[in-house]
Amino acid sequence: MDETLLSARGLSLSFGPVTALADVDAELWPGEVLAIVGESGSGKTTLLNVLSGRVAADAGVVWYRDPAGRLQDVHAMPAPALRALHRSDWGFVHQNPRDNLRMNVSAGGNVGERLMAQGARHYGRIREEASAWLQQVEIDPSRMDDMPRTFSGGMLQRLQIARTLVTHPRLVFMDEPTGGLDVSVQARLLDLIRTLVARLGIAVVLVTHDLAVARLLAQRVMVMQRGRVVEQGLTDQVLDDPQHPYTQLLVSSVLQA
Amino acid sequence: MIGYNFAYLDEQTKRMIRRALLKAVAIPGHQVPFGSREMPLPYGWGTGGIQVTAAVLGRQDVLKVIDQGADDTTNAVSIRRFFARTAGVATTTHTAEATVIQTRHRIPEQALREDQIIVYQVPQPEPLSKLEPSRAETRRMHALAEYGPMHVKLYEDITRYGHIAISYDYPVMVNGRYLMSPSPIPAFDNPKLDMMPALQLFGAGREKRIYAIPPYTEVRSLDFDDHPFRATRAPHACGLCGATDSYLDEVVTDDRGGRLFVCSDTDHCETRRAAGHVGEQAMAAE
């Protein structure tokens, strides 16, 4: 566990006069959950997109250690290799599951798509695998042939997670996975993510504005403000004893129920 | 015909189309854009096929045109007459005599030879069109050979209907590389695409695309290991010639449920009848 899975150095990106990222460094070790927190517009999602190679940075480099142990420069990779990475070794969980799911394809087809994209050509085995994954995310396998539009918001999010994890990725990017869900559903989903991530040893980069989510899931936290990382460290340390004024503000503005 | 170049199109246009054809033959199954011209017939009637035919036609060629397998339907008759008038080439309805065959929706029952060219009229050349609305994205998918979504469509069919419910325009992999629409031929004809001795050219006029399958190229219909591709046909014998291995059309004969199944390939049916084969309905009529 002494080799980083993903490391970024000196990432900078601005959209015209707006600075989205300013000299950001980040590191992620295998099996670790890293939360990126901050208010809206602080550059969290942009950082996620740059780390995953979906958006090019103005400056800086992102290294990824592939399963063979070679370091790959994510932004210098040829498009086919990057897309293959996104299809197999990586996953991306969107805030809105409708952005990722095919809404006119059954739940089983949605889960099986990444398998078929990797060359699975046995209908029966694809179905078995899909059914097993639906069970893992607590969706009744009898709903396998139902359309996602008949699913509730929480089920859609769990379906998206099953669809992403079916190829056993080593690294998953999550953008506000619990956003837009009511509190009880959020709690269940967080519990599910925590269990799956721990059992499968997946490394996660998690973007959230919700400090409670970060505390529950992440081992480490990065606090961002106006494109800069203002504080980072172990979750409990950062949230219990914030050093930077902005982090202190964030922590103190959480409503206590 | 005075005032027109041989085979209607001017030589520069033919050159442009032949260049596209050469490129298409060099990359089997890959869609090559071309500058489709206005033709004196509406889109959907074979503007792509007719331009490809015009570009490959020589004075010595013998042309056959079929529409849904038939030589005597409006589309077939008018395109055949068009080339008879603008190119003065010989025409035929016999598959064996033709050197160039332009077709809509069928491949003749009789096996084609190395010295023949078959030209398909294609309405929608993009096999991924129903799955991915953006053409920029489908081109990228072809470039990277990302054909998973097509299998998702087949998966959905099996889940919903118990079998792959594509009866025509059944997607194929050409030469193990490009996913291709075989044009709206019945899935029954798909096995004929594979290792065909004749050169196969595809023209889509409205969509401005040309693609091709060179002779003796592997063409595989997509399927699953445990749900293999099966060519289907109506479980009847041709009412006129008694053939049990040809693709059949169903013809409603009266308003009391009367039906007649006949070969969709009229030349095939006539050849068989001339050789003395008689079907049930033809026997009853005598």
Query: By C-alpha distance, which of B251, B220, B243, B246 is closest to B233?
Result: B246
Task: Say whether residue B12 is in contact with chain A using an 8 A CB cutoff.
Answer: no
Mean pLDDT on A175-182: 86
Task: Give bridge partners of residue B240 from the DSSP assignment.
Answer: none
Classify residue A186 by burial, with Cβ atoms within 10 Å: 0-12, 13-18, 19+: buried
pLDDT at residue number A185? 86
Q: Residues of chain A with pLDDT > 70: what percent? A: 98
d(CA B116, CA B123): 23
Q: Is B156–A126 a contact, with Cβ atoms under 8 angstroms apart?
A: no
Mean pLDDT on A173-184: 87
Exactly one of B69, B238, B239, B279 is catalytic; name it: B238
Does residue A255 surpass a pLDDT of 70? no
- Pair of tokens at residue B104: 């809509």
From first to last of its 286 residues, chain B has per-residue pLDDT tens of 678 899 999 999 999 999 999 999 999 999 999 999 999 999 999 999 999 999 999 999 999 999 999 999 999 999 999 999 999 999 999 999 999 999 999 999 999 999 999 999 999 999 999 888 999 999 999 999 999 899 999 999 999 999 999 999 999 999 999 999 999 999 999 999 999 999 999 999 999 999 999 999 999 999 999 999 998 899 999 999 999 999 999 999 999 999 999 999 999 999 999 999 999 888 888 7
Q: What's the gap in Å between the CA of B148 and the closest CA on chain A?
A: 4
pLDDT at residue number A256? 61
Give, for B179, the enclosing helix (H) or strand (E).
Answer: strand B178-180
pLDDT at residue number A53? 92
A46 contacts A20 by C-beta, under 8 angstroms: yes
Task: Say whether residue B255 is in contact with chain A using an 8 A CB cutoff.
Answer: no
Active site residue B263: yes
A144-167 pLDDT tens trace: 999 999 999 999 999 999 999 999
Q: Is B144–A114 a contact, with Cβ atoms under 8 angstroms apart?
A: no
- Region of A236 on the Ramachandran plot (φ > 0 left; ψ -120 to 50 alpha; else beta): alpha
Q: Which amino acid is at B211?
A: Y
A238 contacts A221 by C-beta, under 8 angstroms: yes
B109 contacts B246 by C-beta, under 8 angstroms: yes
Q: Is B149–A112 a contact, with Cβ atoms under 8 angstroms apart?
A: no
Q: Is A145–B160 a contact, with Cβ atoms under 8 angstroms apart?
A: yes
Look up the ipTM and state it: 0.86
Report the chain B residue with the minimal C-alpha distance to residue A109.
B152
Give, for B67, the enclosing helix (H) or strand (E).
Answer: strand B62-67
CA distances from B108 to B13, B64, B65 (A): 29, 11, 11
A22-55 pLDDT tens trace: 999 999 999 999 999 988 888 999 999 999 999 9
In whole numbers, what is the pLDDT of chain A averaged over residues? 91
Active site residue B58: no
Q: Is B149–A122 a contact, with Cβ atoms under 8 angstroms apart?
A: no
Residues of chain A contacting residue B227, judged by C-beta atoms under 8 Å apart: 123
Residues of chain B contacting residue A116, judged by C-beta atoms under 8 Å apart: 148, 151-152, 155
Task: Say whether residue B259 is in contact with chain A using an 8 A CB cutoff.
Answer: no
Residues of chain A contacting residue B160, judged by C-beta atoms under 8 Å apart: 106, 145
Q: Is A109–B159 a contact, with Cβ atoms under 8 angstroms apart?
A: yes
Q: Is B225–A116 a contact, with Cβ atoms under 8 angstroms apart?
A: no
Q: What's the gap in Å between the CA of A112 and the closest CA on chain B?
A: 8
pLDDT at residue number B284? 85
Residues of chain A contacting residue B148, judged by C-beta atoms under 8 Å apart: 87, 113-114, 116-118
Does residue A257 surpass a pLDDT of 60? no
Q: What's the gap in Å between the CA of B138 and the closest CA on chain A?
A: 14
Q: Is A112–B227 a contact, with Cβ atoms under 8 angstroms apart?
A: no
Residue of A106, A111, A123 to mutate, testing the B interface (most B Cβ within 10 Å of its Cβ): A123
Does residue A1 surpass a pLDDT of 70? no
Q: What's the gap in Å between the CA of A48 and the closest CA on chain B?
A: 23
Residues of chain B contacting residue A106, judged by C-beta atoms under 8 Å apart: 156, 159-160
Residues of chain B contacting residue A108, judged by C-beta atoms under 8 Å apart: 155, 159
What do you get for the CA distance between the two ends of chain B, in Å? Answer: 45
Does residue A2 surpass a pLDDT of 80? no
A231-240 pLDDT tens trace: 999 999 999 9
Does residue A180 surpass a pLDDT of 90? no
